[in-house]
Amino acid sequence: MSNYAGPLYETSYVVSDEVLAELDTWLAEVLEAARQHPGIESARYFEAGTDSAGHVIRTCQYQARDDNTLDQLIDGLFSSLDAEAAVRFGASVVVYSRTLRPDEINELPTDESSTCLNCGTRLRGQYCGSCGQRSRTRLISIWQLLQEAFGDLLELDSRLWRTVIPLLTRPGQLTKDYLEGRRARYMPPFRTYLVLSVMFFVVAFFDPHKDLSLFFEPEPEPTAEEIAETEAAAEAAAAEQKRREEAARKKIEALKAAKKLPDDAEDDFNVMIGDNGISTSNGGLFDNCEDASIQADEDVPEWVQKRFSDERMKQICERNKARGNENFADAILDNVPVALIVLLPLMALVLKLLYPLSRRYFVEHLLFFVHFHAFFFLILMLQIIFARIVSWLSLAGTISTIIIVATSFYIPVYLYKAMRRVYAQGHMVTIVKYLMLLVAYVTGAFLTMLGVLLVALMSA
């Protein structure tokens, strides 16, 4: 162990020859007085060679009792000595000062490295002063590994919780703090966005019985009575369908007689009879691939016509028909996160246009929407969790609906309050820009979701 008492304060004087003798006399008096100071353990001065111009350098070192004492000395005694030297010697003496602390490299535990294994910086303690990695090189236990994996979730004072709470309850506060330099207490914005988005999609779309079916017992084989009931229900449904089709034909004939439908209507349409009358459709989304085409007029660019030719549209239709509606829906969901990321810079550009005099960079507007989307994922995730808890506990559905509706109304209110806090403009101006932003947001969301649909169709 080192027996070093405290930090050193070092002052170097680059002195001209004509005042060297006077400086030596003054330094001797200064050190004699410094040794009598209760906060200084020892003091000395010596010649430290010459600089490139040949000027002599005198160096004084004062060993302080501890760091707190050193801070007091810097503000008091040492500042007054620097001022006195400036008055006494003027430009003939140049003063440089620095603080020296002990190298505790030999005081590290034996299982820790003397240099950081991550960046190579010499260590002065248990943690690297450059990258922050701990010097210990071995994982001691499974518990330590779990702590490193889930520490932010399990520690109540971690940056995760210090980020989530203001993100949920104080609109715009995270963005405002980040722009004003208060950042270390919170998770980085994009990390917050990614963590909450992944958690949302896991909560919303992960079905353990479907995705982890291997770990669940298979459904028991139906009994003879259940099979009979299923067959009876199927026969009843078929009879009902036949009755409805017969009623549909009669209504179609009546409409043809009244000239309200063309004579070939039954050949061209699948007719569905509901409680509200007759409706027509072309069947399923990918049922009739022979007619899959895009009617291109003269205004459509040639490159679009080449990429969406009738032959290619038929091939796309056949591929989507083969993979089924469920897989098509999964393909859409897979592309939604990418669409939301694409939406971020688009909305940041809208904010840039709405606040041209704010002197904010584009990335600062982008930061605003990164935090807003992170909040959006968080509130939706909490709604889903709450609805499932209510369902599991068989509580009153009315209360659940009221709370979910109330939290849904909180989302647009949150956006308005965040704009007020970050951009600090009046209510009327903010309301106008808020409405313009909403229109742009709905339009951007529609276009990006349309892009998701096209990508899902073309990627089959």
Give 96-131 pLDDT, tens digit per residue.
Answer: 888 887 655 444 454 444 677 777 777 766 677 777
Model confidence at 382: pLDDT above 80: yes
Whole-number Å distance between alpha carbons of 166 and 180: 16
- Asked if the model's pLDDT at residue 310 lies above 80, the reply is no
Q: What is the DSSP string of 270-312?
A: EEEEETTEEEEE-SSTTS-GGG------TTS-HHHHHHT-HHH
Reported confidence tier of residue 236, pLDDT bands at 50, 70, 90: confident
Residue 2 — very low, low, confident or very high, per pLDDT cuts 50/70/90?
very low
Phi-psi map region of 324: left, alpha, beta (phi>0 left; psi -120 to 50 alpha): left
Mean pLDDT of 380-404: 82
Sequence ranges of the domains in the chain? 8-102, 230-281, 324-458
Does residue 1 carry a pLDDT above 50?
A: no
Name the nearest CA neighbour of 5 among 54, 39, 49, 56. 39
Enumerate long-range contacts of 184-190, CB under 8 Å, 24 or more apart. Answer: 185/159, 186/159, 186/162, 187/152, 187/159, 187/160, 187/163, 189/367, 189/370, 189/371, 189/374, 190/370
Do residues 12 and 34 lie in contact, with contact meaning Cβ atoms separated by under 8 Å? no
Q: How far apart are CA 220 and CA 237, in angstroms?
A: 25
Q: Which candidate, 285, 297, 283, 291, places its Cα nearest to that of 314?
A: 291
Give the pLDDT score at 110.
45
pLDDT tens sequence across 150-191? 655 555 556 778 889 999 999 999 999 999 888 888 888 998
Residue 330 and residue 188: Cα distance in Å, rounded? 30
Give CA–CA dist 240/234, Å, rounded: 10
Place of tokens 């620097």: 82
- Greater confidence (261 vs 434) lies with 434
Distance spanning both ends of the chain, measured CA to CA? 69
User: What's the pLDDT band for 286 if we cut at 50, 70, 90?
Assistant: low
Radius of gyration of the chain (CA): 38
Cα gap 416→372, rounded to integer Å: 11
Give Cα 221 to chain centroid, integer Å.
47
pLDDT for 76: 87
15 beta partners: 56, 93
The CATH number of 8-102 is 3.30.70.100
Tell which wins on pLDDT, 415 or 17: 415
Distance CA 430, CA 426 (A): 6
Confidence (pLDDT) at 225: 82
Q: What sign results for the dihedral spanned by CA atoms 113, 117, 118, 120?
A: positive
Of 322, 364, 54, 397, give the one whose Cα is nearest residue 178.
364
Q: At which residue do the structure tokens 């007689």 appear?
A: 257
Residues of the chain above pLDDT 90, percent: 20
**DSSP summary character for residue 120:** -
The span from the CA of 378 to the CA of 389, in Å, is: 17
Output the CA–CA distances (angstroms, integers) from residue 418 to 152, 169, 172, 226, 434, in the order listed: 26, 11, 4, 57, 10
Q: 159-169 vs 142-154: helix axis angle to the nearest 10? A: 20
